[in-house]
Structure 1
């Protein structure tokens, strides 16, 4: 920013299919708020030609790649799903890369505040990167229904994913702000209200 003042960093998080992307896009589309998305960065650090993909290929072998030279995510998931050692190795490689890229992208922010979208913000203890935490909250039943429809997966698979994330109650303990997304028509008014609040905090 021209004043040299650091923008306010709002950590946006929530469970699977809670509506994180929808909410972040409302802030961006209506108010021009910059978004730094951990999921997008996680893909960038293992893109063809990246140091991340080079290290993964050296560790797991070239059969971890697709015929086009991209990371075969399904095969990687298979290798680390039941292997704690391999999962720890992968996290130790990628988490610092992702965090470093997030910090670099946040340094380029030009809006008064920015949204740092991190699905596993609480699980990976990244609260220190934020000034406030905005939790996108939704009922578990809505999460299950949305994920089954979106990803064409079974109820059991969704319940397994939910079990691997922190509970709804635990996540809410970290919330400075909450947006409820069970009713779609009620989301934008909540975004508008929080936008005004955040602008006040930026002053």
Structure 2
């Protein structure tokens, strides 16, 4: 059985370009620790880690750059075109990321912390130990526009990226709290402040 952290744990999730980073920054400004699955995914395959060794075992040394690090751009192109390769890579990295996040949560001594997990809905069965799920949601047309603007990509690629993720309905089904982020970013200030007060109160009675 997975050990439950001392602090209350809120999993922060949302589709690509929904505004998770903007929300996470606001919680951090309030003194809340945010542990990011994207940071974990980089750290668990740093040179010298068992994670990188497992990736090389699965895909060969050709996935490394001249400095001995994972060539992320080449790897991304490879797994995007090959679902089986993507599953192989995820089977290596996802358990390592979950362990990294769990260890960070166990070390927390504050009232609560956030775990930023983009693919939470797709892997919710592995995160039963979190206390709440906070979804940052935006309509698909808003996501598309932000993604095209943010990454400088065309609409066809942006739509493919959205299609690779869980649907809005699937994300909403696992959420306890929802921030609607379909307008100006400044509107997030009030939403985050309200949730911060609620989470502090919940953490006291946990």
Give the alignment's TM-score, normalised by structure 1.
0.92
CA distance in structure 2 between the aligned counterparts of 1:178 and 1:46, rounded to whole angstroms: 32
Q: Residue in 2 aligned with 1:16?
A: 16
CA contact (8 A) 2:8 2:112 kept: yes
Q: Residue in 2 aligned with 1:38?
A: 37
Q: How many residues align?
A: 198
RMSD: 1.5
Q: Residue in 2 aligned with 1:179?
A: 179
Query: For structure 2, which runs of at least 5 residues remain unmatched after alignment?
Result: none
Q: CA separation of 1:84/1:163 partners in 2, compared to 1, >3 Å: closer, same or farther?
A: closer
Report the secondary structure of 1:123's partner residue: helix
Structure 2 residue 160 is the aligned partner of structure 1 residue 160: yes
Q: Residue in 1 aligned with 2:79?
A: 80
Give the alignment's TM-score, normalised by structure 2.
0.90
Q: Residue in 2 aligned with 1:28?
A: 28
Structure 2 residue 202 is the aligned partner of structure 1 residue 201: yes
Q: Residue in 1 aligned with 2:138?
A: 138
Q: Residue in 1 aligned with 2:120?
A: 121
Q: CA separation of 1:158/1:67 partners in 2, compared to 1, >3 Å: closer, same or farther?
A: same
Report the secondary structure of 2:11's partner residue: strand
Comparing 72-81 with 129-138, greater Cα deviation is found at 72-81
CA contact (8 A) 1:32 1:111 kept: no
Report the secondary structure of 1:68's partner residue: coil
Query: For structure 1, which runs of at least 5 residues remain unmatched after alignment?
Result: none
Report the secondary structure of 1:12's partner residue: strand
Deviations 1:155-174 (A, max 9, x none): 11111111111111221122
Moved over 2 A (4+): 77-89
